[in-house]
Amino acid sequence: MRKLLSTLAILTSLVAAGLVALVSPALADTECARTDSRTGVCILWVEVPGTPGDSGNTSGDGPKDTGSGAACYWDGRKQNIFKPPPGPVPCSTEYGYWSNDYNCYIQLLEPQPPAEDPLWEGHEPGDGAVYHCYQPQSDLVHIFWSADQPPNSGAGPTPREVALIAVDDMQLTAIRIGIAPEAIQGSIGLVGMPVWMWASSPDGSTWGPQTASASAGGITITATARVHKVTWNMGDGTTVICSAPGTPYRPSYGMRTSPDCGHTYTKSSASEPDHKFTVTATSDWVVEWEGAGQSGTIRLNGLVREARVAVGEAQVLVQ
């Protein structure tokens, strides 16, 4: 059990600090999560999210983070018992501590049965122990021998922590930035000319929905993640929020503005480093999880990607 909890702690810490890939930090509220072992340069930055139980989204927009859930739960379906329905239970009562694996409250049987008792299943007293298992939901009692003490689910992970392991398995990344003018081709935009932004080739890992399941501590959780919105910091002090992936620009659109995700610069980038604006796109994900007779929502808002865009004055270009 200690090994399981230690592994879970490591995984949870990686999830909390490792779900973002970009070239350089875009926000003040960021920290380095991974460096290149050869150069020492940071290659993975993360915007610090809210703590469990708090909303990771400070704007009040969209669904709220609904917390951690309960680590101990009853699920009679394991024994074809359907009432009461699955749901949280107290982790400790007068009947002992709750074990999700055994689906009951566990106590050491006192006194232990005599050596010749069949409950030892052929083992000698002291070789393991005999335990009392009680389900108040069904009023069933089971007495059994076990070589090791049954796991105490009250010391195990919460459904949220297991959901975070599932999120880690999804390998979510920031969107691949699509923008016109196209920075990667070195083209230059003009002050007053519409700029189009979009998620290039959106898929499960960059936009969702993406679903994964994880198990730990007797809990199995299925989580589904999807992007709720993308916040574009355009580098000129302007922020644009887009709830859709955006529409890819085509030359045939001419000077039209984007129908769902665009911006118009009112000044050139001449005074910026390398004469380019740094554009960052921050993805705000919503993760809905369910399992252990419970459900909840996690907000992840730290996946960031950046691009560089040159914007010039029309009269300068003519000269």
Residue ranges of domains in the chain: 2-69+158-318, 73-155
Is the peptide bond prior to 84 cis by the omega test (within 30 degrees of 0)?
A: yes
10-residue stretch averages of pLDDT, the chain, 319 residues long: 32 31 30 42 35 33 87 91 92 96 96 95 94 96 96 94 96 94 63 93 96 95 97 96 95 92 93 92 96 94 90 61
Q: Would you state the structure tokens that stand for residue 61, as one six-digit string?
A: 């927009």
Provide the pLDDT for residue 60: 52
Q: Over the chain, what HEC string results?
A: CHHHHHHHHHHHHHHHHCCCCCCCCCCCCEEEEEECCCCCCEEEEEECCCCCCCCCCCCCCCCCCCCCCCCCEECHHHHCCCCCCCEECCCEECCEEEECCCCEEEEECCCCCCCCCHHHCCCCCCCCEEEEEEECCCCEEEEEEECCCCCCHHHCCCHHHHHHHHHHHHCCCCCCEEEECCHHHCCEEECCCEEEEEECCCCCCCCCCEEEEEEECCEEEEEEEEEEEEEEECCCCCEEEECCCCCCCCHHHCCCCCCCCEEECCCCCCCCHHHCEEEEEEEEEEEEEEECCEEEEEEEEEEEEEEEEEEECHHHHHC
Query: Bridge-partner residues for 11, per DSSP?
Result: none
pTM above threshold 0.75 = no
Distance CA(95)–CA(230), nearest Å, equals 50
Q: Summarize pLDDT for 72-122 with one digit per residue, the tens.
A: 999 998 889 988 999 999 999 999 999 999 999 999 999 999 999 999 999
The pLDDT tens digits for 36-71 are: 444 343 333 333 333 222 223 334 578 888 889 999
Q: Which two tokens stand for residue 193?
A: 């000319």
In this prediction, residue 106 carries a pLDDT of 98
**178 within 8 A of 301, measured Cβ to Cβ:** no
Cβ proximity of 218 and 99 under 8 Å: yes
Give the span between the Cα atoms of 88 and 229, in whole angstroms: 32
Instruction: Please give the order of strands across the beta sheet that includes 96-99.
Output: 92-93, 96-99, 104-108, 129-135, 140-146
Q: How far is CA 253 from the centre of its chain?
A: 37
